[in-house]
């Protein structure tokens, strides 16, 4: 066999074997793809579960904060009511003091 023919023959063998190996890799990749997609689905399910837990936790925190706000509003209203009562009593006492002072001035 001449040298160029030998090179062509070897090149053909190389091409044929590389194609065969490449096809085998594709088959292996196709076979492993379902397991990869299953793993990705499991991961996405876990992520969704974690997100749901976070959302539920945040909703509970929001409910607690709303309760605290309601409680503080009630306390504020009570304080305002107590303040009005105190101011009303103080002004009533002030009027009596002024009236007594007038009476003393008139008596003098």
pLDDT single digits (tens) 19-73 = 665 555 555 555 556 676 788 888 899 999 999 999 999 999 999 999 999 999 9
Give the chain's domain count.
1
83 vs 3, more confident: 3
Determine the Cα angle at 98 with ends 92 and 102, to 5°: 145
* Whole-number pLDDT of residue 31: 54
49 vs 88, more confident: 49
Domain assignment present for 15: no
CA distance linking residue 95 with residue 87, whole number of Å:
12
Helix, strand, coil: what percent of the chain each, to 5? 95, 0, 5
For 57, the domain range is 42-107
Domain assignment present for 70: yes
Domain assignment present for 23: no
Domain assignment present for 6: no
Domain assignment present for 10: no
65 vs 107, more confident: 65
Domain assignment present for 58: yes
């Amino acid at each position: 066999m001449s040298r160029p023919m030998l090179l062509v023959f070897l090149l053909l063998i190389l091409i044929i074997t590389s194609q065969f190996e490449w096809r085998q890799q594709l088959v292996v990749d196709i076979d492993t793809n379902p397991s990869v997609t299953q793993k990705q689905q499991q991961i996405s399910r876990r992520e969704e579960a974690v997100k749901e837990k976070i959302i539920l936790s945040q909703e509970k925190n929001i409910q607690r904060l709303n309760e605290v706000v309601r409680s503080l509003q009630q306390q504020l209203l009570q304080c305002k009511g107590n303040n009005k009562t105190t101011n009303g009593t103080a002004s009533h006492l002030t009027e009596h003091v002024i009236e007594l002072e007038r009476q003393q001035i008139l008596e003098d």
